């Protein structure tokens, strides 16, 4: 007789206990006939399959199968084993979605009819989490293997337990070779600072195993024997019950190389700066200083400097480095060499380019060295050009590593700075020689004037002897007075006479004009004259007048006067003293000339001549006929012509008539009209070659004022132009993001790296504010950084997130400095998104067991400590589970370690499904696991532990067609707020030990059981 649903309900209704268990079971239960007819289902089953609206399940359970063939597999297993446990299949929800489920089926007989009692578990989320877990494990493994740094796992004796691909690449050995060796087997005996590598590593490992993290510089020896500049970090990591050392080796070769270049640049800049202050030193001192700097910058042992003659056929030795002479045992060596007779070191002159020989011993071009010469291992030299002629041959040798183009550049820059100083020194010496010649001429002129003055004294004495004859010729003198007055007025000369006895003075009209004294200012007197003389010059002027009266009889002086309006004028005064027969002074007669304009022009011309004689600019002076009147030395050197070939020549004959008509003539005409004009242009100059010049045309008056000139100044901007182009090139090709922004948060200039990194075009970025693309969570920190910048601080390695064009975020690292004068910010920005991501993922990897994905022992203990502190603070109960797989070694021995790994993974999966999300679970040993149970009591903990044991016992792990079953032993220990805090077990370590002892007891009592202690 077939049992119907109603019949089954009657049976249940007759047994209250069975009915209660069936209806309230937390498991979904469906009872069917062997043909699939649904006899009964509980509320949990209808909820699982979506039949909660009063509708019953389909009449035949087969209608809920996504794949009906799976029903046949189920029936086959039932026929073979009598029950089915843990079978996974896909069921169809009422809404059509798929439910991943795990079922257990047992067969019972009621009223002589077989029924299938099926329990259903929804494992849809579990499967999704397993997929995610596998992807996460693959991801972490890829990060570990893709790390740019070599990573090793070491024990206390530096034996290598594991390594990544980068470590295999760095050490040049297979993974098997690495795992058979220690870290010390791949280390040099000593580090560069003299420390013993073995002692250093083992002492650091000892410190790390006690809980310390260490970072230290390291020279790593590669398989070919070369040493690699590194930074090594040691940190402790617990694997199972053993604490190992995680060793990360960062290759800093490129960073050290860049740092070394910066240090060499600083040395060169310091040398050039010191060189610029050596103008008063001798040429030998300059050469010796530069040579020692060259040896230092190129990291060489020896160096030399030779001067090259004009036809480049001879080399003259001017300096050897200090290190050479103590090592050199050559008795006699020539100072002058013929280029054609030189060997390898003369190639730079013959080839007219730098030469590098890093294997001197095997070089075929060398011709040998004299006996006692310093041994040469490596050699480099450069020819230095002045225009197109080689003037210096400089070389260095015996660097510990190979010479490179960078060494050539450093040596060339230093020698160019030296040559400019030597050229300037030569120019200064020529100027000094000219000055000495001028002094000689002035001295000669002074002697002539002194002789003239003596003659004047003789004439004055003659005049005094002839005073008696004055009355005779007075009339005639009066007749000539009018003519003299006309002459003095025409020459701007003021005539005066002072009667020394009566103290009265007579001035002509020109004298009143010179002193700016009107006719209405009263009688002329000494006081009035003194009021006009400049206070600083009055004492000296009166002293000279008194000296003339008392001794010389002749007054000749220059002094300044001050007009009532404050204007200062320069006066040249000359006078003679008249004496009576007894030799008493009677009167002084003299002249005054206003030389103000002449003085001003002389001063201006003196300054102007001093400037143009020393300036490196090309300076010339042309007259109204466009002919040269004057050119400076730089002009002569630039055109390679003698001064005589310029003076009187038309400018068009020198620069070319087409160029003159097109550029110079319009500019000269504008300058003669009083304008200062100019232009910038590339031009060919015979000796200097193609140069970018700034040419200025300026009007100049002559000293006398009767003729005007135009000064033409050519300033060489080539180096500035090239530097500007180089800077722009660096700005364009830099992989770092470079920008200039104003204080209003707007971009002024930015390089293409911004578009490459963030996806925005340059125009789009300039339309945004800098802070407009900052992540909302980072805007507060970014604003604080801006305040620091605007106060004058520089910012280094500030990190925030910036929006990519597709809406994602990039981590950027900022180095900024503010120009408070121009109100601009200059920034160098680097994309560090990948580094940040790798650090986060490495952090997760460090907390996770790499095989199972469970928390590793270190992270489990950290989280357990936090939970234990919470328990001590708030009370309640805390329970600790220690679990171990029974006879796990047999599984490894029977099925292999790969199968053992799969068992461990499946155990972790099952534990995660069984334990609550608030529980803390981790792998603390090889096959040993632990869990902290929170938010429950001892009874809940026992139920969870027992449920976990049963589920693991029922679980089947299928490997290559073979099914593996296993059991676990569980130790459980609990603490409650009622326990005595002074008890030895009232601690995390205590409860762990209690759980471990319970686990040991479970093993002793026969395994596959839970043992607990309250």
- Locus of tokens 């843990």: 86
Taking each continuous run of H as one helix and of E as one strand, the counts in the chain are: 32, 38
Q: Give the Å distances, CA to CA, from 744 to 626, 770, 790.
A: 53, 9, 11
- Locus of tokens 């600072």: 193
Read off φ and ψ for residue 743, nearest 5 degrees.
-75, -10
Beta strands 1010-1013 and 968-976: pairing type? parallel
927 catalytically annotated: yes
Query: How far is the C-alpha of 784 from the C-alpha of 780, rounded, in Å?
Result: 7
Query: How far is the C-alpha of 526 from the C-alpha of 530, rounded, in Å?
Result: 6
- Locus of tokens 């686990």: 999
Q: Give the Å distances, CA to CA, from 303 to 10, 270, 288.
A: 112, 19, 10
Q: Which two tokens stand for residue 678?
A: 């100019």
- How many residues does this entry show for the chain? 1014
Query: How far is the C-alpha of 19 from the C-alpha of 22, rounded, in Å?
Result: 5
Read off φ and ψ for residue 780, nearest 5 degrees.
-65, -45
Query: How far is the C-alpha of 362 from the C-alpha of 378, rounded, in Å?
Result: 11
Strand stretches in 664-734, DSSP E: 677-685, 689-701, 708-716
Q: Which of 927, 928, 956, 958 is catalytic?
A: 927
Burial environment of residue 382 by CB neighbours within 10 A (0 to 12, 13 to 18, 19 or more): buried
Burial environment of residue 306 by CB neighbours within 10 A (0 to 12, 13 to 18, 19 or more): buried
Strand order in the sheet with 689-701: 628-631, 618-622, 708-716, 689-701, 677-685
- Locus of tokens 């106060």: 791
- Locus of tokens 């050009």: 385
CB burial readout 319-330, b (16+ within 10 A) else e: bbbebbeeeeee
620 bridge partner residues:
631, 712
Alpha helices in 25-68 (DSSP H): 43-49
Question: Can you give 771-797 as a three-state secondary structure string?
Answer: HHHECHHHHHHHHHHHHHHHCCCCEEE
Instruction: State the number of CA atoms in the 13 A half-sphere of 21 facing the CB.
Output: 4
Q: Which two tokens stand for residue 463?
A: 């005049």
The distance from CA 140 to its chain's CA centroid, rounded to whole angstroms, is 31
Given a contact cutoff of 8 angstroms between Cβ atoms, the answer to whether 674 and 632 are in contact is no
Query: How far is the C-alpha of 850 from the C-alpha of 630, rounded, in Å?
Result: 87
Which run of H or E residues covers position 194? none
Query: How far is the C-alpha of 55 from the C-alpha of 46, rounded, in Å?
Result: 9
Query: What does DSSP assign to residue 548?
Result: I
Query: How far is the C-alpha of 231 from the C-alpha of 233, rounded, in Å?
Result: 7
Instruction: State the number of CA atoms in the 13 A half-sphere of 852 facing the CB.
Output: 30
Given a contact cutoff of 8 angstroms between Cβ atoms, the answer to whether 336 and 316 are in contact is yes
Active-site residue list: 927
């Amino acid at each position: 007789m077939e049992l119907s649903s109603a019949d089954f309900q009657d049976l249940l209704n007759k047994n209250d206990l069975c009915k209660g268990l069936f209806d309230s079971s937390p498991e979904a239960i469906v009872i069917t006939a062997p043909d699939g007819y649904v006899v009964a289902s509980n509320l949990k089953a209808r909820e699982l399959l979506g039949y909660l609206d009063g509708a019953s399940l389909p009449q035949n359970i087969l209608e809920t199968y996504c794949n009906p063939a799976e029903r046949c597999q189920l029936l086959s297993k039932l026929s073979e084993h009598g029950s089915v446990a843990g079978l996974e299949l896909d069921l169809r929800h009422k809404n059509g979605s798929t439910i991943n489920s795990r079922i257990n089926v047992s067969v019972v007989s009621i009223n002589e009819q077989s029924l299938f009692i099926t329990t259903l578990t929804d494992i849809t989320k579990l499967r999704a989490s397993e997929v995610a877990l596998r992807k996460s494990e693959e991801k972490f493994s890829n990060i570990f293997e893709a790390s740019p740094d070599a990573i090793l796992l070491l024990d206390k004796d530096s034996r290598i337990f594991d390594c990544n691909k980068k470590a295999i690449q760095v050490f040049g050995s297979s993974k098997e070779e690495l795992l058979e060796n220690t870290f010390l087997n791949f280390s040099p005996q000593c580090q560069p600072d003299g420390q013993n590598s073995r002692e250093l590593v083992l002492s650091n490992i000892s410190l790390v195993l006690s809980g310390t993290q260490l970072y230290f510089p390291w020279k790593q020896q590669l398989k070919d024997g070369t040493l690699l500049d590194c930074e090594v970090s040691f940190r402790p990591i617990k694997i199972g019950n053993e604490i190992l050392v995680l060793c990360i080796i960062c290759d800093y070769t490129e960073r050290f190389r860049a740092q070394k270049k910066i240090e060499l640049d600083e040395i060169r800049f310091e040398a050039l700066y010191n060189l610029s202050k050596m103008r008063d030193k001798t040429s030998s001192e300059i050469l010796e200083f530069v040579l020692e700097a060259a040896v230092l910058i190129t990291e060489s042992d020896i160096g030399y400097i030779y001067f090259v003659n004009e036809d480049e056929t001879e080399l003259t030795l001017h300096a050897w480095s200090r290190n050479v002479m103590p090592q050199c045992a050559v008795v006699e060596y020539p100072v002058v060499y013929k280029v054609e007779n030189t060997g390898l070191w003369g190639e730079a002159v013959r080839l007219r380019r730098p030469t590098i020989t890093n294997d001197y011993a095997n070089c075929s071009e060398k011709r040998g060295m004299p006996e006692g010469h310093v041994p040469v291992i490596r050699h480099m030299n450069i020819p230095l050009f002045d225009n197109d002629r080689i003037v210096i041959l400089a070389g260095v040798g015996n660097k510990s590593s190979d010479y490179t183009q960078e060494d050539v550049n450093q040596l060339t820059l230093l020698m160019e700075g030296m040559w400019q100083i030597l050229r300037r020194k030569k120019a200064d010496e020529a100027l000094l020689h000219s000055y000495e010649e001028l002094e000689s001429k002035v001295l000669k002129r002074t002697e002539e004037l002194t002789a003239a003055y003596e003659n004047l004294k003789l004439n004055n004495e003659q005049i005094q002897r002839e005073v008696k004859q004055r009355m005779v010729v007075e009339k005639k003198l009066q007749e000539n007075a009018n003519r003299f007055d006309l002459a003095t007025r025409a020459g701007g000369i003021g005539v005066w006479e002072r009667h020394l006895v009566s103290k009265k003075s007579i001035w002509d009209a020109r004298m009143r004009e010179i002193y700016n004294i009107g006719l209405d200012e009263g009688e002329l007197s000494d006081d009035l004259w003194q009021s006009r003389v400049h206070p600083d010059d009055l004492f000296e002027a009166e002293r000279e007048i008194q000296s003339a009266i008392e001794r010389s009889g002749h007054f000749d002086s220059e002094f300044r006067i001050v007009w009532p309006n404050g204007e200062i004028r320069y006066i040249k005064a000359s006078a003679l003293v008249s004496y009576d027969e007894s030799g008493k002074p009677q009167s002084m007669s003299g002249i005054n000339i206003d030389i103000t304009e002449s003085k001003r022009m002389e001063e201006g011309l003196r300054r102007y001549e001093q400037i143009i004689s020393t300036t490196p600019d090309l300076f010339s002076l042309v007259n109204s006929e466009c002919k040269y009147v004057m050119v400076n030395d730089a002009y002569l050197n630039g055109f390679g012509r003698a001064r005589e070939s310029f003076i009187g020549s038309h400018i068009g004959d020198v620069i070319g008539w087409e160029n003159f008509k097109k550029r110079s003539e319009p500019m000269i005409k504008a300058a003669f009209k009083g304008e200062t004009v100019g232009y910038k242009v590339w031009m060919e100059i015979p000796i200097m070659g193609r140069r970018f010049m700034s040419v200025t045309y300026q009007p100049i008056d002559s000293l006398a004022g009767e003729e005007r000139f135009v000064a033409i100044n050519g300033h060489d901007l080539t180096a500035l132009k090239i530097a500007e182009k180089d800077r722009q090139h660096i700005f364009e090709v830099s992989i770092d993001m470079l920008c200039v922004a104003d204080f209003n948060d707007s971009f002024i200039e930015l390089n293409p790296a911004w578009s490459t990194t963030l996806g925005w075009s340059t125009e789009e970025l300039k339309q945004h504010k800098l802070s407009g693309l900052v992540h909302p969570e980072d805007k507060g920190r970014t604003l604080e950084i801006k305040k620091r910048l605007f106060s004058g601080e520089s910012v280094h390695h500030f990190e925030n997130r910036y929006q990519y064009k597709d809406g994602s975020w990039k981590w950027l690292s900022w180095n900024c400095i503010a120009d408070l004068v121009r109100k601009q910010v200059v920034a160098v920005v680097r994309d560090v998104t990948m580094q940040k991501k790798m650090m986060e993922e490495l952090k997760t990897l460090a907390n996770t067991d790499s095989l199972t994905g469970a928390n590793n022992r270190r992270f489990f203990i950290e989280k357990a400590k936090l939970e234990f502190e919470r328990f001590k603070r708030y009370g309640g109960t805390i329970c600790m589970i220690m679990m171990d797989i029974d006879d796990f070694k047999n599984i490894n021995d029977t099925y292999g370690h790969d199968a053992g790994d799969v068992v461990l993974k499946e155990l972790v999966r099952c534990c995660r499904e069984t334990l609550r999300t608030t529980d803390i679970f981790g792998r603390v040993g090889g096959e040993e696991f632990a869990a902290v149970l929170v938010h429950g009591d001892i009874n809940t903990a026992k139920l969870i532990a027992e449920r976990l044991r049963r589920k693991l016992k029922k679980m089947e792990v299928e490997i290559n067609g073979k099914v593996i079953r296993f059991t676990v032993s569980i130790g459980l220990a609990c603490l409650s707020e009622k326990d005595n805090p002074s008890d030895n077990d009232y601690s995390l370590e205590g409860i762990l030990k209690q759980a471990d002892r319970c686990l040991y007891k479970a093993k002793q009592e026969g395994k596959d059981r839970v043992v607990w202690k309250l």
